[in-house]
Amino acid sequence: MDVLLIIIGTLLGYLLMYQFYGRFISKIIFKTNSKTLVPSKELEDGIDYVPTKKQVIFGHHFTSIAGTGPIVGPAIAIIWGWVPALIWVFVGSIFMGAIHDFGALIISMRNQGKSISEYTAKYVSPMTRILFFLIVFLELWIVIAIFGMVIAIIFNIFPASVFPVWIQIVIAVLLGMYIKKGKNITLASLIAVAVMYFTIIVGVNMPVQIGEIWGIPATGFWTIILLIYAFIASVLPVTVLLQPRDFINAYQLIIAMALLVLGIIISVFVTDIEVVAPAVQWHPLEAPAMIPFLFITIACGAISGFHALVSSGTSAKQVSSEGDALFVGFGSMLTEGVLAVIVIIAVSAGIGLGYSHNGQILTGVEAWNSHYSSWGAGSGLNANINAFVVGSSNMAQHVGLPYTWVLAIMGVFVASFAGTTLDTATRIQRYIITELFTSLHLPAFKNMYVATFFAVFSAGLLAFASGADGKGALSLWPLFGAVNQTLAALALIVVTLYLKEKGGASWLFAGIPAVFMIVMTLWASILIEIDFIKASNYLLSFVNFVIILIVLIIVFEGIKKFIK
């Protein structure tokens, strides 16, 4: 019954906090007004600036901020126990992540849809603008370079997902064309989702696995294909692919989460499912200290700097009124929190219903201990995704679907969200490059094809820096968690200063989370720096040191502006 209480308690908690705290933040703190002219209407161009119905932009925003983040983070952090993971996800998503996402969205909407890097100059200082650009560029560079490999790994683990993931793109384009003609969006979307699920059944019977092609390993080949796709997707008008694909993914999310919640409820009564992970585990084998690394490991699902890039990158250019921002910004963050809670249940309880190891099917505590025997055993991408998919499939199969179908549904679910993150990150990087290089008097980068090519090509150089397998970005991956959460802290500083400028004590709602995140991320970054030096990893040590220095400068500038 512990599992049932967790899911019911958190769902009710999120609903209540959205209705009361969310509306308070929107109406009282940020004073949103649905009559205010927004960038999507003021600068409408049919490509990036497009006023969009809130349910459609919710689909884009949620699937873009989620990706594999709320799956991988909790699946790793559960090694410290399910209680700290659950508390951080629930409290963090409401009081830190939601105001972070919503604040970045609203401020961008009140600054012509410009990125957070661009409007940092206005609210902090001109000097911090370039430094912020460097942090943002680094994060997106790593994301674009590595997500091709991430999707390639998902394709390798779940070959049944390959066909439906690619066909979903065709379905999305057709859906976009249909909606553009003014047809019934709900009916069209339901038909599109039904067709997509039919392709999953086809995928189960037609799994696609590739080997080495022209001397390029499968991961490298898929990375090339996905980078080409990211280029095309990010220069197309948002109504052609981005919006309809993300709208389909939003329905896919609802269906997957409904399957999981229903599966959890049935599992409680059919199999007496129980949490088999420890409540708290302070010193797991080989793991770093819970504090501060819990707050770095679980990003998406609690708070993530990447969300500020989506809020101020693509979403601010499409939200059709300030009144819709609560549903899109605040609502998406809490929905991601719900997903992270379900992941925690899947890897702390669902995995105990059956886990294959060395040809044996393990259950209960033995299954969990086998998967999470050490930090190294449970922290790899394959291990994280497997833990979630196996655990969630164990629960969802009680709905009555064949187990192979459930595995494929979850595999497509993860791969689709990763794909959305890839093309959204590429589009945002294009905006960042255009803003930065235009200010440096390089007008060629105003051309979206030039800026997008630079984004994709530079990511490709990183991806293939270590060879044809496309895994070059793994060399910088150890920095990603700290960089991402550092960006979240810096975004909160900007939100704090924006509210401070408006007067009153409203800045405290962003200021307290900002201080917390700055302390935790700097603490973690310093510990990581010590490890890099001990390991004689001078490249990562240098990059990490530069990041710490940039953060300290921005914090100093923020304090100066705050006092002034």
pLDDT tens digit sequence for 482-511: 889 999 999 999 999 999 998 888 999 999
The one-digit pLDDT tens for each residue of the chain (564 residues) are 588 889 899 999 999 999 999 999 999 999 999 999 999 999 998 888 999 888 888 888 888 888 777 888 888 899 999 999 999 999 999 999 999 999 999 999 999 998 888 888 888 888 888 888 888 898 899 889 888 778 888 888 788 889 998 998 898 888 888 777 666 677 787 888 889 889 988 988 888 888 878 888 888 888 899 999 999 988 888 888 877 887 788 788 788 888 888 888 887 777 778 888 899 999 888 888 999 999 999 998 999 999 999 999 889 999 999 999 999 999 999 999 999 999 898 888 877 777 676 667 777 788 777 778 777 655 566 667 777 877 888 888 878 888 888 888 888 888 888 888 888 899 989 988 988 887 777 888 889 999 999 999 999 999 898 888 878 877 777 788 888 999 999 999 999 999 999 888 899 999 999 999 999 999 999 999 999 999 998 888 998 998 899 889 999 999 999 887
Q: Which two tokens stand for residue 192?
A: 């599109």
39: preceding bond cis by omega (within 30 degrees): no
Given the structure tokens 């979630």, which residue do they identify? 388
User: What CATH number is given to the structural domain containing 322?
Assistant: 1.10.4160
- How confident is the model at residue 81, as a pLDDT? 93
Q: Which two tokens stand for residue 198?
A: 């039919």
- How confident is the model at residue 379, as a pLDDT? 58
Per-residue b or e along 326-343, where b marks 16 or more CB atoms closer than 10 Å to that residue's CB: bbbbbbbbbbbbbbbbbb
pTM of the model: 0.90
Instruction: Tell me the pLDDT tens digit for each residue of 445-476.
Output: 889 999 999 999 999 999 898 888 878 877 77
Given the structure tokens 């943002």, which residue do they identify? 136
- Phi, psi dihedrals of residue 355, rounded to the nearest 5°: -140, 125
- How confident is the model at residue 359, as a pLDDT? 67
- Hey, which residues does 357 pair with through a beta bridge? 360
- Phi, psi dihedrals of residue 522, rounded to the nearest 5°: -65, -40
- How confident is the model at residue 128, as a pLDDT? 86
**Cβ distance 143 to 183 under 8 Å?**
no
How many structural domains is the chain composed of?
Answer: 1
Given the structure tokens 């490709």, which residue do they identify? 460
Tell me which residue range forms the domain holding 413.
2-563
In Å, what is the CA distance from 381 to each residue of 11, 69, 75?
A: 28, 11, 10
Average pLDDT of the chain, as a whole number: 87
